Structures are given as structure tokens and as C-alpha cells.
Amino acid sequence: MWIKKQIPNIITLLNLFCGCIAVIFAVQGHLEFAALFVLLGIGFDFFDGLAARVLHAQSELGLQLDSLADMVTSGVVPGVVLYQLLSQVFGKPFYVFPNSWNSQEVLASLDGSYISLLGLFVTLASAYRLANFNVDTRQTTSFIGLPTPANALLIISLPLILKFQQETWIVEIILNKWFLVGLTLLSCFLLNAEIPLFALKFKTWNFSANKIRYFFLLLAVLLMIFLKFISIPIIIILYILLSIFFGSKSKGEA
């Protein structure tokens, strides 16, 4: 049935809808609300693939639509969030709207912190990663480079930590200008690095075939219970390290 085949695409469009709302909040500087809608969008992003597999409704259209939705939710929003944080720590946004269209005022409005635009490099790196994913036949059962939703979670966790877990030492780290610059560059690198990472897709529920997934999910749940939003960057780092460890171990056994 036509409706049945469109259910995964509808869920994907809900991801895109959440991403659009997140962009609005991020541009307005309400980063914690932007983060919450990104979390909701990533949830839809997980379930559209699940729905496609359950309903046997995978399609080329769905693949392209999924990437377009991810580009907004997990590409544009993290870039704008980093732009806003960099603008905050460097003291000036890139652009402040003038009171009129007088040429001198327009030019003066550009006298801001150009380094804040570095945050948008994450958006560019995300676009390249998503385009490459669609043509890379090696990434059918696993990933090469950090998936854009995982990278988005890493970045949007920062405003959530600043809002809800205001430990002084953590705030000082997050709002350190060089930390944010370093995180931006690291994020761009990880998105497109030749690092094999396991996917959280269960073809069977067999433990031996999915032990790394079960182990990772158990640790992730425990970390979220005890550390809350601070656990998110730790979980992403753990995801990368486990992928590298189990990947190298499997090569050694082979």
C-alpha cells in the first residue's frame, strides 16, 4: 500500500520539522530549546529507519530524504549553536543588525568577531559527510567517520550542561574560547575521518553477534542516570573508543 510505504518518509519529515524549529531557536539564542528539538529530531531519525525495515519500505527516496533532514537537524543546528557560543566567548557576534540601511552603519555592523563563523565549518563538514555517506558503499552495515546525529548530540549537549548542570569547573571549560575552537576543529575532523564505527542496528537479538552494542547501551544508560547531560560527550567518546578497540581486536583475531 502507498500509505504504508510513506510512513518512514513521514517520520523523516518530522525530523526535518524539528530541525527547522531548532534552527529558529538557535538563531534567536535559545540554545537549550534548540538542543531539545534536535534531540526530538534525532529520535525521529532513529525510528524512520526502524519503520522502513519493519515495513519493508526502504527506498532511494527515503535515503535521500533522510540525508536532507539530517543536514538541517544534525548539520545546520550544531553549526549555529557553535557560532552562538563562539560569539558569546569572543564578545561579539559576526553581525549586528543596523538601525538603517545606511552604508556606513551596515559596514560598522560587520565589525564583530569573525572567528565565530568557525562554528559553521561544522555545517560544511556535516554536508560533506552526508553526501559522502550516500555514495560510499562501505557504510551499509557500519559507519566510517562520526555520524552527524552523534556529532550533533556532542555539540548540543553543551548548552544543556550550561543550563541544567552549572558546576563551575564545567562552565569554565565549556566557555573557554580555545576549548570551543578546538572542539569545532575536532568535530569537523571526526565527521570525515577514516575511522570505522559500529552502527546501532540490530539484525538479530543474538548476544554474541551484538555484544558491543549491548555493552555500549548498558554503559550509556548508566552514565545518563548518574551524570545526566554531562554523560552525552562521555558517551560519544566511549562510542569512538569502543569502535576502535573492538575493530582492532577483530582485525587481530582475523
For residue 147, what is the domain's CATH number?
A: 1.20.120.1760
* Max mean pLDDT range (51-60, 156-165, 200-209): 156-165
- Domain for residue 195, yes or no? yes
**Backbone phi, then psi, for 55, in 5-degree steps?**
-90, 0
Q: Is the pLDDT of residue 100 over 70?
A: no
- Give the Cα separation of 157 and 20 in Å (integer): 18
Q: Residues of the chain with pLDDT > 70: what percent?
A: 86
Q: Pick from 65, 79, 95: which is nearest to 22 by CA?
A: 79
Residue 251's pLDDT band (cuts 50, 70, 90)? very low
Q: Does the residue 46 lie in any domain?
A: yes
What pLDDT is attached to residue 96? 59
In the predicted structure, residue 164 carries a pLDDT above the cut 80: yes
Lowest mean pLDDT among 36-40, 68-72, 115-119: 115-119
Q: Of 114, 118, 73, 70, give the one whose Cα is nearest residue 92.
A: 114
The pLDDT of residue 16 is above 50 = yes
- Asked, for residue 252, whether it belongs to a domain, the answer is no
Higher pLDDT, 46 or 102: 46
Task: Tell me whether residue 99 is in a domain.
Answer: no
For a pLDDT cut of 90, what percent of the chain falls above it?
65
Report the pLDDT averaged over residues 131-147: 88
Does the residue 248 lie in any domain? Answer: no
pLDDT at 1 over 70: no
Residue 55: per-residue pLDDT: 80
| pLDDT of residue 112 exceeding 70 | no
* Residue 233 counted as domain residue: no
Span 86-102, mean pLDDT?
A: 71
**pLDDT at residue 250, as a whole number:** 45
Residue 215 lies in a domain: no
| pLDDT reading at 249 higher than 90 | no
What residues make up the domain containing 162?
Answer: 2-88+110-201
Tell me: the pLDDT tens digits for 180-205? 999 999 999 999 999 999 988 766 67
Is 231 a member of any domain?
A: no
Give me the number of domains the chain comprises: 1
